Structure 1
Amino acid sequence: MAAVRPVVVINAAYQQSDWASTAHGAAHVALAAAAVGARLVHVSSDAVFSGAAVRYDETAAPDPTTPYGAAKAAAETAIQAVSPAAVIARTSLVIGDGGSHHERRVHALVTGEITGVLFTDEVRCPVHVSDLAAALLEFASTRHVGIRHVAGVDAVSRHELGTLIARRDGLDPDALPAGRQADAVLPRPLDVRLDCTRTQRRLSTTLRGARQFLRR
């Protein structure tokens, strides 16, 4: 930072299983950005929520139930203390044009390369990577401050998301195994929906839903 002296820093770095990089790392980036007077846009996650309320707008207080969610919430707290003018952009499942983890998993499940299921009761609001990127660039170049929610308008289960991906890519959606997260007893929240209404009003970027951007 000291050598480059950037005007803007967008921090999208994380490692789900590592508190040091996700929590401490974000704090170090915020301190370094503040030291050179750079504007900071930090990418956070819907994992900061438990799912107890289902629908969360930008005023909702984090109540994480997983180590990753706790690390992301800790990062948010540090950034707000170090750099009150920063933007913290919470997002959901990020989908691309074939390169995301979710898309690769769907292909692997359909072809039998891996075993497993896609949950019918775990709901999120997927966002297309280009919409997310455009929104982050808007935050970087405008006067946005504080918490912003950047996710798609469609709330879909992981299984429905997989079905949409399969249909787009010409795969057989009936080959996707389904299951319930509640039966698997995983420590992840079941239903977390980011309400982006307030943020969308101030964005020129349209945050499309999965049913739109995954249409064939």
Structure 2
Amino acid sequence: MTLLVVGASGFLGAEVCRQAVAAGRRVVGTYHSNPNAAPGVEARRLDVTDRAAVRALLTGVRPDAVVATPYRYDDWRVTADGAAHVAYAAAQVGARLVHLSSDALHAGRPTPYRDDDVPTPIHAYGAAKAAAETAVRAIDPAAALVRTSLILGEGSKQIQLCRDALAGRAVLFTDELRCPVDVSDLAAAVLELVSGDHAGLLNVAGPEAVSRAELGLLVARRFGLDTAALKTTTTTAAGPPRPTDVRLDSSRAAGLLRTRLRGVTELLG
């Protein structure tokens, strides 16, 4: 199998590449500005906002499957338009597509979100992720769309944010609940979906919900850090609207996949 990972220089993309290479697959990974690729990966520069370039790359590589992980928090063209370009090109060459989405497209509510709950975005990034899902589902109904949460692991931005808050350089929210997932667990689940035939939305996140502030305390305990300087606040006090309680119900994924999605207490305990 030839696997194309769009966004291979990102945190999740790099782990998908590493596991796919270890499994003996030919892996082509794209990057935008950072050419560093995992060993064994054929690195190709790609601007996902350039529809013709995306089409040319997929036509040349002819992958059996595509994992699409690219996003840029403040760039609609990358997050939404780029997803549509990749989906269109993948459909043209007949490649299996697994698209990575986010819990950030939900506004928050007291009960967990199911796989097929409609997006309720309250900020630009969430709206871009919702638009990306709409495009992918319209272009390729057979694609798998993975909604996930905060991604943890060595080198994770989420772990670094907690470290910064514990040092007084950042702020963590006490009322924003998420379901963190380990990057290796998520990558393994994605590769299972690559080899399978699941179509449509699927929540793939950890089974345990914590607030960002609670995550900071777990990081402190895991790495023996002092909590005296930990800075916290609420989403209301922070100003612009943010998703609050965005727990994902991943029970369907737990029954569908062999990969065990570990909870945050186990990961950082």
Q: TM-score range with shorter-chain normalisation? A: over 0.9
In the other structure, the counterpart of 1:4 is: 61
Return 5+ residue gaps in structure 2 as ranges.
1-57
Q: Does 1:74 align with 2:128?
A: no
Change (3 A) 1:174 1:154: farther
Secondary structure of the residue aligned to 1:30 is helix
Distance 1:52 1:185 in 2: 19
Q: Deviations over 1:77-118 (max 9, x none)?
A: 111111000000000011112x11121122223334x2x321
The structural deviation recorded for 1:69 is: 0.7
Distance 1:132 1:180 in 2: 28
Distance 1:209 1:174 in 2: 26
The structural deviation recorded for 1:142 is: 1.1
Q: Deviations over 1:182-201 (max 9, x none)?
A: 22223111110100111210
Distance 1:109 1:67 in 2: 25
Residue 162 of structure 2 contacts residue 215 of structure 2 at CA under 8 Å; is this kept in 1? Answer: no
Q: Does 1:106 align with 2:162?
A: yes
Residue 124 of structure 1 contacts residue 155 of structure 1 at CA under 8 Å; is this kept in 2? Answer: yes
C-alpha root-mean-square deviation of aligned residues, in Å?
1.2
The structural deviation recorded for 1:63 is: 1.2
Secondary structure of the residue aligned to 1:10 is strand
Count of aligned pairs between the two proteins: 212
Distance 1:53 1:170 in 2: 33
TM-score by length of 2: 0.76
Return 5+ residue gaps in structure 1 as ranges.
none
Matched letter for residue 74 of structure 1 = A
In the other structure, the counterpart of 1:163 is: 217
After superposition, where does 1:189-204 map in structure 2 within 5 Å?
189-204=243-258
In the other structure, the counterpart of 2:149 is: 92
Residue 165 of structure 2 contacts residue 216 of structure 2 at CA under 8 Å; is this kept in 1? Answer: no
Distance 1:163 1:214 in 2: 10
The structural deviation recorded for 1:52 is: 3.2
Secondary structure of the residue aligned to 1:190 is coil
Matched letter for residue 168 of structure 1 = R
The structural deviation recorded for 1:166 is: 1.5
Q: Does 1:45 align with 2:102?
A: yes
The structural deviation recorded for 1:125 is: 0.5
The list of structure 1 runs, each at least 4 consecutive aligned residues, that deviate by more than 3 angstroms after superposition, is none
Comparing both chains, which one has the higher relative contact order based on Cα–Cα distances under 8 Å and sequence gaps of 6 or more? 1
Matched letter for residue 258 of structure 2 = S
Secondary structure of the residue aligned to 2:161 is helix
Matched letter for residue 31 of structure 1 = Y
The structural deviation recorded for 1:22 is: 0.4
Distance 2:68 2:125 in 1: 16
Distance 1:106 1:118 in 2: 7
Q: Does 1:176 align with 2:219?
A: no
Question: Is 47-56 or 70-79 further displaced after alignment?
Answer: 47-56
Secondary structure of the residue aligned to 2:60 is coil
Q: Deviations over 1:167-187 (max 9, x none)?
A: 111211343122222222231
